[in-house]
Structure 1
Amino acid sequence: MIKFKSISSLSVLLLSSITLFAQQSNYKFKFGSGKVPAGYVLVSEKSTFKPEKGYGFEPGTPVNVALSGGKDLIKQSTITAGQPFYFSVNVPEGNYKVTLTLGDAKVKTATTVKAEARRLMLENITTKPGEFVTKTFIVNVRNPEISTGAMVKLNDRELNSRSWDKKLTLEFNGAKPSVAALELTKVEDQVTVYLAGNSTVVDQRAEPWASWGQMIPRFFEPGVAFANYAESGLTLASFKGQKRLEKILTLIKPGDYLFIEFGHNDQKMKGENDGAWKSYTDNFKYYIAEAKKKGGIPVIVTSTSRRRFDENGKTINTLGDFPAAAKKVAADEKVELIDLNAMTAVLYDALGVEPSKKAFVFYPANTYPGQDKELADNTHFNSYGAYELAKCVALGIQQSNLGIKKFLVPGFSFNPSKPDAVTDFAVPPSLDMDLVKPAGN
């Protein structure tokens, strides 16, 4: 009986510490070994994530400690690895300011940072031996619970995604990733951009698939957070039916944005009341009206073009009246429009018929382990294609009257008729891989 009471007391104490850790709004971690600055938690190479602890490296990604000496406790040691590694922290839902100290005392480093399900936050941050840099960005963390008591309906693939768990996960990638310290602070002052869309928008969780919604954070400074609620295969109606819109509407505050891009799956709906000028138009108007009731700013994004060319090498519109219907709704409702459909047609034409495959999931058999068949997809993008599309959306924001354009990274510019060369694209692939095609076409 005494033993049982002792175990119970220990369990209560452990659960209490977990709860307290999960309820924090500020977290500071020092990586490596040695003395720890006041207020920081030491994270060694053996700190594996466990739910009861609340933080640590994800299993299966071994890391190493690099020592430097010196008097600066933050820079005395770093964590590095020869492959991508992942660090997670249990946190409540919300927006977090992430501040990283990157570098190494003895060697040059090159670190790319992704968050949650492969959201690109920092691209190829390099340091010379002995140089350390501090970088800050904003990450949105969400879960399926809705304040009304309802739940967002997740599909099987989403249940295994970092996008919907109760952790903030950072992926450290690149030629020589090296991190010395991390600070997470829950912030309430960020403008949040909620993304509603399908497989061309969603945070694709695994290589070789990618979408613009997970690349666009790269082009914005702190001040704006992107909350990507999109999912493959969805329409305006099914996004609403899965309570994703309801979840957004419980969180959106005056001055936040709702970007809406649908069409690829909507055009396959064949009911009596379906079509570009019926249910598609009506649902768009519903989204806009509901967002405005909350003080949100709705923005319509026309659907990305599919990769299909005519005999003259020009992109063909495969979306029928849906882009035109989206434009008409934007005009009628007096909301901003980003014509991604038109910009992507220009982009594909500029790339050319065969070279444009480099922006999509086109890979010969045996490119990836276990891939015994060719991958040939004219709708879904790889990381390079998603990166170029994100630049198109960022350009649309830059050319608009939207207030968030002030948060674009300094010097941003892009011309879809002059896309980046695929040979210059250097965002390293993540470890997660899935050869199953995302839903939708």
Structure 2
Amino acid sequence: MLPISTLLGVLGLVATGISAPSSLVSRAQTVYLAGDSTMAKATSNIQGWGVYLPYSLSLPVVNKAIGGRSARSFTVEGRFDEIVKLVQPNDIVVIEFGHNDGGSLSTDNGRTDCPGAGNETCTSNYNGQTVTVLTYPAYLVNAGRAMVAKGAKVIISSPTPNNPWEGGTFTYSPSRFTTYSKDAATKIGPSAMFVDHGTYTANIFKSLGKAKVDVMYPNDHTHTSPAGADVVAGAFVKAVLCAGGGFLNGFMKNSTASVAGACV
């Protein structure tokens, strides 16, 4: 049986129509992930790194990444808009593309972006229709600014590398999409930050050596095994920790020293 004082308090709330304190229904900050198959949940013998990120965060993570998408197709399909509708103040959105954004518009596959580092536009024919195509950074900036307008914070992450040991010796050079990603974060403003996920991943893969890394790419040079995805997730965490935590400061379960790799 409830104590008399507690019972009277409950009856008083009912009688006067006073609602319960808002803190009882407060909502935790949420981390949203926007990306391609290297981030998305997969099946069989491959996996995206976004599946393992929740183990390092004390915040809920919603993985909206989907295979085969580029910054352009993620935009055109309304997937960025979906996240914009969901985000609330102080939510955090991690955006990482690049693997499907290259190619030529002469045979438009619906994913290739217009070449350029700014607001250039291209006219293309896709599925029998004339379409205007933006640059990679323009798609990221537009999406990031829309999320920031809702009060969210944005982390623009450089794309992860293909197997850097594929040629027999270690080789890694950041692609133009790394530069574009960094510039996009700057253009979005102080509510955005850049994380060089690609370089941190490559550095860890270099230290692991060819034999161990080759096993982490069971099907091709792009998609990692579950064990590889776990390493790639750790590389993202390391990059964020080395940057002081950024928008995830206070929500990381790991210490900088506890995660593989070195700060760069």
Instruction: State the TM bucket, normalised to the shorter chain.
Output: 0.7 to 0.9
The residue type paired with residue 158 of structure 2 is T
Instruction: Give the Cα separation in 2 of the matches to 1:350 and 1:202.
Output: 25
Structure 1 residue aligned with 2:182: 327
| Residue-by-residue CA offset, 1:328-384 (whole Å, 9 max, x unaligned) | 2223434211101111111221122232112222xxxxxxxxxxxxxx311101111
Alignment of 1:289-368 (within 5 A): 289-309=145-165, 313-317=169-173, 320-334=175-189, 335-361=192-218
The answer to whether the 8 A contact 2:96-2:157 is kept is yes
The answer to which structure has the higher helix fraction is: 2
Which deviations, in whole Å up to 9, do the C-alpha atoms of 1:169-202 show, x marking residues without a partner? xxxxxxxxxxxxxxxxx97521111111000111
Deviation readout 1:17-37 (Å, 9 max, x if unpaired): xxxxxxxxxxxxxxxxxxxxx
Mapped pair 1:383 → 2:233: no
Q: If the length of structure 1 is used for normalisation, what is the TM-score?
A: 0.45
Q: What corresponds to 1:280 in structure 2? A: 136
Alignment pair present for 1:268 and 2:103: yes
Of 272-281 and 243-252, the range deviating more from structure 2: 272-281
Q: Which amino acid aligns with 1:193?
A: V
Greater relative CO (CA pairs within 8 A, separation 6+): 2
2:252 paired with 1:415: no
1:232 to 67, 72, 77: 67
Counterpart in the other structure of 2:88 = 253
For 1:329, the aligned partner's letter is: A
Structure 1, unpaired ranges of 5+: 1-185, 362-375, 419-441
Shift, 1:268, TM fit: 2.5
Q: Alpha carbon RMSD of aligned pairs, Å?
A: 2.5
Structure 2 unaligned spans of 5+ = 1-23, 107-111, 121-134
Equivalence for 1:197: 35
**Counterpart selection for 2:237 from 394, 405, 408:** 394
3-state SS of 2:136 partner:
helix
State whether residues 194 and 226 of structure 1, in contact with CA within 8 Å, keep that contact through their aligned partners in structure 2.
Answer: yes
Cα distance change on mapping 1:266 and 1:405 into 2, 3 Å: same
Matched-pair contact (CA < 8 Å) for 2:30–2:60: yes
How far apart in 1 are the matches of 2:209 and 2:143? 36
Provide closer, same or farther for how the CA distance between residues 276 and 255 of structure 1 changes in structure 2, counting only shifts above 3 A: same
Identity %: 24
Instruction: Compare the two structures and name the one with the higher strand fraction.
Output: 1
Structure 2 CA distance for aligned equivalents of residues 395 and 308 of structure 1: 19
Distance 1:388 1:276, change over 3 A: farther
Counterpart code for 1:415: A
Q: What number of residue pairs does the alignment pair up? A: 215
Q: Which residue of 2 is the match for residue 244 of structure 1?
A: 79
| Corresponding residue SS for 2:232 | helix
- d(CA) in 1 for partners of 2:167 and 2:71? 33
Question: Is the 8 Å Cα contact of residues 313 and 352 (structure 1) preserved in structure 2?
Answer: no
Alpha-carbon displacement from aligned partner over 1:295-338 (angstroms, at most 9, x marks no partner): 11111000001113487822233x74111111222234342111
Shift of residue 261, structure 1, vs aligned partner: 0.2
